[in-house]
Structures are given as structure tokens and as C-alpha cells.
């Protein structure tokens, strides 16, 4: 059939053949220019959230602290988001999306984070979700769908470091009948050149990395998640590195009292699951400001294994919503544990 169709096309008169070929080539050459005009109208500016997240899982709570790193001019500090009574999240990277020529407000993905996750984890009142995709995967895909809509408006070449994601999410929480957990979810992009310095931007499916509990035999200690990612050997030392080096700025906080000294020894030696949460919280509240610039914005919270989410250092309260605005959605119930998790080792 294909051969017959090709023969019929070749049998057309020469002028008509030439005209058809000319129109096809002309449209092919024209399309990038037309796309460039469309892209110019839709281009967005992106402001990044840059910072560090320190996580420690103790015997009675998992603790998470977020702080900015004073990186690029105009970068934003990371914000702790309450995802449920037993889970906290932090979104870093391309978080604020601005259309300069639009009257619309900038899109803040960290502000939308709770609503996106609440919708993704809605089980419709069903308690048995054993046949559902895991909640970690559901979180990853829900954010992916939102980011893909925004990234489709990026038409210029995006310069990212080697293996640097567009967005990185850190999650920490507690799952009944499973235990404490911590994850990172990364969103990388791929750009295809369309001509005239115009690119199509695609956000790839997220990659998931469970950082707690670690693989069997690995230490349980302070964990750190950063954006932009840094080489640990060449970048600023992590809190754990400073503790292992007996940094003088941390000595007095580490041994403030006998219980705290014992808990910190457990944490540094890879047995944080034996450490007392209150002692680790007291240490982090004093130690993190001691190793960061004075203007660093620090927020901290924990998920108590019995009492759930609790603020330790809460962010400034947001302004009251305008009259008539809908109240914030209620926190969703915690679903069953995900299928991607490492097996918990007590």
C-alpha cells in the first residue's frame, strides 16, 4: 500500500510537485519562528528556594530543621510544610514561578504543596488501600503533574549543574506499624532543541531515595539534604562532619548535660534510634545557629511517634486571608505505608 501511494505521488505533474514541496519546506522553516513568538508570550521567570535540611530520627520522634544558605541573589528560604499529622515536607529548587507580563500572582509550589498532597492522598473514605499506589509514589506523581504544566512554559536553555534536579523534596514522618522514615524526591528535566534557541522542556518522572531507615548495617545518624546539591567532600561541611571532627563551636552544646551527652554519642556513632528526642532538639536549636551566619532563617519541627506533628521553631505567621477566602483544607489522614520503603530494622 505504501509503495502504491508513493508511485501515485511521483506521477503528479512537475509544477504541482514543486509547489507542494515548496509549501512543505516553507511551513517547516516557519514553525520555529511562530513558536518563538508564542514562547515569548508564555515565558516565565523562576525563583529558587536554596537551603539545607537536617533530619534526625530518635527513639521517640523524628526531627527536621530547614535553613537558608544565602546563595544566589533573590533566592528564597526553605519552608516546612505540614503534609499530615505525621509527615513534614520541604520543597527546594524551582519553587516560585512568575510571568512578568501577567497580572496573575506568582505560583508558589511550596504554598500549594499541602493542597497538592491532600488531593493525592485522598482515599475517598476507604481505610483499606492495599491495592493503591504507595503514598510516596502518589506524592511524587501529584507534584510531577503540577510541575509539568509550569515547565512547559520554559522555552530557553536551562543551565543546571551535573545531576542537579529542577526541584528536590525532602520528606520526614512516622508511619504506624512501620516507624520513622525520610525520603528525597528529585525532578530532573530534559530539553529538546526546536531551533532558533527555542527548547521544549519536559519534566521526567521523579526519582525516589529513602534515606531513613538506611540499608541494613548502615549508621542511623544525622542526615542532610541540600539544594543546590553539593559534593560533600568539596562543599561546606555537614553537621555530622563537624560533630565527627569535634568542632569547637559544638562542644559545649553536645555535652550540656549527661543525658544530652549520651544522646549525642548515640547519634554520632550511628545509633540515633536510641537517642532522646528532647536532647537532640535542644542540641540542634543551639548548634545550627552556631555554625550558620547570624541572618540565617531557621525553622524546626518534629513528628512525635505518639503525639504527631509539633512545631519547635515555627515560621512567622502568614497574614490573615482576605474576607471571603476559603479556609485552609484539613490535614488528610495518614494512609498505609508505601511499597517502596526499606524494611524497618529496630
Per-residue CA distances from 346 to 183, 210, 337, 339 (Å) = 18, 17, 17, 19
In the DSSP assignment, the letter for residue 272 is: G
| pLDDT tens digits for range 228-274 | 887 666 678 999 999 999 999 999 999 889 999 999 999 999 999 99
Q: Are 184 and 212 in contact (CB under 8 A)?
A: no
Per-residue CA distances from 79 to 123, 298, 300 (Å) = 27, 9, 10
Across the chain, mean pLDDT equals 80
C-alpha cell, 286: 543551639
> CB count, 10 Å around CB of 323?
5
Could you identify the residue written with the cell 498505609? 336
Q: Which of 252, 268, 260 is nearest to 56 (CA)?
A: 268
Q: Which of 159, 155, 162 is nearest to 193 (CA)?
A: 155
Question: Cα 66 vs. chain centroid, distance in angstroms?
Answer: 13
The rounded distance, in Å, linking the Cα atoms of 210 and 345 is: 14
* 319 confidence band (pLDDT: 50, 70, 90): low
Q: Are 78 and 68 in contact (CB under 8 A)?
A: yes
| pLDDT tens digits for range 29-67 | 333 333 333 444 457 888 899 999 999 999 999 999 999
- Residues sharing a CB contact under 8 Å with residue 13, sequence separation 6 or more, in sequence order: none
The rounded distance, in Å, linking the Cα atoms of 52 and 57 is: 17
Own/partner contacts of 13-22, CB < 8 Å, gap of 24 or more, are none
Phi-psi group of 214: left, alpha or beta (phi > 0 → left; psi -120 to 50 → alpha; rest → beta)? beta
Task: Give percent of the chain with pLDDT exceeding 70.
Answer: 74
Task: Give percent of the chain with pLDDT exceeding 90.
Answer: 54
Q: 0.85 exceeded by the pTM?
A: no
Output the pLDDT for position 163. 84
> Strand pairing partners for 67?
52, 298
| pLDDT-wise least confident of 78-82, 277-281, 300-304, 320-324 | 320-324
Q: Cite the DSSP H helix spans in 43-134.
A: 109-120
- Residues sharing a CB contact under 8 Å with residue 148, sequence separation 6 or more, in sequence order: 202, 203
Q: Which fold has domain 43-229+295-313?
A: 3.60.20
> Strand pairing partners for 336?
none
Amino acid at each position: 500500500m505504501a509503495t502504491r501511494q508513493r508511485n501515485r505521488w511521483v506521477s503528479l505533474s512537475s509544477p504541482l510537485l514543486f509547489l507542494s514541496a515548496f509549501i512543505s519546506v516553507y511551513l517547516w522553516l516557519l514553525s520555529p519562528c511562530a513558536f518563538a513568538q508564542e514562547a515569548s508570550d508564555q515565558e516565565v521567570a523562576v525563583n529558587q528556594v536554596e537551603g539545607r535540611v537536617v533530619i534526625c530520627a530518635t527513639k521517640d520522634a523524628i526531627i527536621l530543621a530547614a535553613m537558608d544558605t544565602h546563595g544566589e541573589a533573590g533566592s528564597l528560604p526553605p519552608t516546612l510544610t505540614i503534609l499530615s499529622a505525621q509527615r513534614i515536607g520541604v520543597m527546594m529548587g524551582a519553587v516560585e514561578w512568575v510571568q512578568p507580563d501577567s497580572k496573575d500572582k506568582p505560583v508558589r509550589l511550596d504554598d500549594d504543596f499541602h493542597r497538592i498532597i491532600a488531593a493525592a492522598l485522598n482515599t475517598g473514605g476507604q481505610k483499606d488501600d492495599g491495592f493503591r499506589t504507595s503514598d510516596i509514589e502518589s506524592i511524587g506523581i501529584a507534584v510531577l503533574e503540577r510541575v509539568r504544566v509550569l515547565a512547559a512554559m520554559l522555552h530557553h536553555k536551562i543551565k543546571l549543574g551535573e545531576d542537579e534536579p529542577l526541584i528536590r523534596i525532602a520528606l520526614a514522618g512516622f508511619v504506624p506499624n512501620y516507624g520513622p522514615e525520610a525520603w528525597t524526591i528529585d525532578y530532573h528535566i530534559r530539553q529538546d532543541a526546536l531551533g532558533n534557541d527555542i527548547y521544549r522542556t519536559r519534566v521526567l518522572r521523579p526519582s525516589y531515595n529513602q534515606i531513613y531507615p538506611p540499608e541494613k548495617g548502615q549508621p542511623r545518624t544525622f542526615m542532610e539534604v541540600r539544594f543546590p546539591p553539593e559534593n560533600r567532600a568539596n562543599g561546606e561541611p555537614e553537621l555530622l562532619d563537624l560533630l565527627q571532627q569535634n568542632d569547637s563551636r559544638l562542644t559545649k552544646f553536645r555535652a550540656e548535660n549527661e543525658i544530652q551527652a549520651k544522646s549525642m554519642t548515640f547519634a554520632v556513632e550511628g545509633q540515633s534510634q536510641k537517642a532522646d528526642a528532647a536532647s537532640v532538639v535542644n542540641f540542634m536549636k543551639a548548634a545550627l545557629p552556631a555554625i550558620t551566619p547570624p541572618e540565617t532563617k531557621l525553622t524546626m519541627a518534629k513528628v512525635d511517634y505518639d503525639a504527631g506533628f509539633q512545631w519547635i521553631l515555627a515560621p512567622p505567621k502568614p497574614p490573615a486571608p482576605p474576607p471571603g477566602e476559603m479556609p485552609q483544607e484539613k490535614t488528610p489522614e495518614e494512609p498505609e505505608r508505601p511499597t517502596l520503603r526499606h524494611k524497618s530494622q529496630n
